[in-house]
Structure formats: structure tokens, C-alpha cells
Structure 1
Amino acid sequence: MKKIFLLILCPFLFLSCKGQESHKIKKITADELDTALQDTIQLVDVRTPAEYKQGHIEGALNIDVTGASFEKDLQQLNKNEPVYIYCRSGQRSNTAAKKMEQAGFNTVYDLKGGINKWNMEVVR
């Protein structure tokens, strides 16, 4: 009887967790970001200033997600317009995206694989 109960309950638990994913944070590919860059967008590099100086996507603003002033620095962005973010590999931008959602940003596009993926797929 317990097995039948678990077989019936498990799919509902899975769907319940799935429903908690954010609709404001969207993962995008390097090609999708490249296309978006044809327009004027809010592009943010969330790496450290030292990493940013080593190389960044043209037009990106540097707001370090690990910096003490991250939330304050976000105020220079328009929360109602989409914001595109990236880091080195995708870990810190995921953290930044969640913080931005909590700060009231409507749409955050997070580059899958970060600038590493960008450099492999777009930069020639």
C-alpha cells in the first residue's frame, strides 16, 4: 500500500517543485545574446573589476556580485527593462540573477556558460 501511495504522490511533488522556478530569470545562449546585442540593451558583467579589466563583452557595465555595494550599484539600472548578465562560467550570474529578482527586476537574461562560452562560440 505504501508503494502505491508513493507512486501516486511523487509526480505531484515533482510538479510542485517545478512550479517554483522563476519566470523572471531566463537562461540564454551565446548566440541569443549576440542577437540581442544588435539592439541597445542593459548588459552587466557581474565578475570582479580585475576580471572585467582582463576582457569583457563590449558595452558591458561592471557590477561585481561579490562586492559590498552590489545591491546599491544595481540602482543605476532600469528594473522595468530586460537586463542581460554574465560572469565567467555561469555560477555567479545565477546568484546575481536571484538577487536581482529579489530586488524587483522584471526580466533578467543570464548567459549560459558565461564569458567562457561567449569566447568559444561568438568571439572569432
Structure 2
Amino acid sequence: MGNKFVLTMALVGGILFTSCQTNQVEKVTSTEEIQQIISSLNNVNQVDLSNPNNVLIDVRTPEEYAEGHVPGAINLNVKDDNFWKKVSELDSTKNYYIYCRSGVRAKSAEAIMLENNLKKVHTFQDGMLTYEGETEK
């Protein structure tokens, strides 16, 4: 009886271990795909903005935003005193893609968002300075 129990537990453990490894590989692939997208704001068209779970955020000032922004982006000025409060009201289940002029303010915004328990925050490494795509005003 004891040997059957040990064999059964070993089999169950092996199955669980294998299934955990498979899920981990899928997550790494997904992360790698996101890393490729966010390496440049010029790849923003690879983010499916028709999916309501993907949100593009421009963290520049309202004046900079009005001069031209990536279509579909919402403006949340990281320099605004209310930025922290606005971020705390965001849906933690969504994916946030952040950009600014050069990438510096986006990193600051990312840190604030992560402190507010938003886990799916992705920052473009560059910004509007090198962006060659369409803009809207």
C-alpha cells in the first residue's frame, strides 16, 4: 500500500512540475514580445489599442500633448500634483503602455504606477523625439 501511495504522489508531482514549466515558458515568450514592442515608440502600432485592456498613456504636459500625440493615447501629466491620485483610480487588471518626450518621465510614471499596485505597466524606452508615426492633435 505504501509503495502505491509513493508512486502516485511521484506521478502527480511530476505532472504538476511539468505543467508549471510549460506555463513559465509561455509567460517568458509573452514578456519577450512586449519587450520588443516597447523598445521603441515606433512599434506602438503593435499594441492592440482596440482591446480595451490595453491603454496607451502619454505622460507629458497637456501643452505637449496638444501639439501632437500618438492616436489613441490618453494624457496623464506625470508633473501634475494629482497624478498619484489619478493613477490610484486606474484599473489594475489593464495593460498600460507609457510614453513621454524622451523616455525619462515615462520611467518616473512607471515607478509611481508600480507603487500603486499596477502590475502590467510597460514603458517605451524612447518617446516622441524619435517617433515617426502618425500623430493627432
Q: Same fold (TM over 0.5)?
A: yes
2:109 aligned residue = 96
Report the Cα distance in structure 2 between the residues aligned to 1:97 and 1:90, rounded to whole angstroms: 10
% same residue: 31
2:6 aligned residue = none
SS of aligned partner of 1:83: strand
1:116 aligned residue = 129
1:36 aligns with 2:41: no
2:69 aligned residue = 56
Q: Deviations over 1:67-89 (max 9, x none)?
A: 10001112443212110110000
Report the Cα distance in structure 2 between the residues aligned to 1:38 and 1:97, rounded to whole angstroms: 19
Runs of 4+ in 1 over 3 A off after TM superposition: none
5+ residue gaps in structure 1? Answer: 1-22
Label 1:47 to 1:31 Cα distance change in 2 as closer, same or farther (>3 A). Answer: closer
Contact 1:100 1:108 in 2 (8 A): yes
1:83 aligns with 2:96: yes
Contact 1:42 1:77 in 2 (8 A): no
Aligned-partner residue type, residue 107 of structure 2: N
5+ residue gaps in structure 2? Answer: 1-30
Label 1:123 to 1:58 Cα distance change in 2 as closer, same or farther (>3 A). Answer: closer
1:9 aligned residue = none
Label 1:115 to 1:37 Cα distance change in 2 as closer, same or farther (>3 A). Answer: farther
Q: CA RMSD in A?
A: 2.2
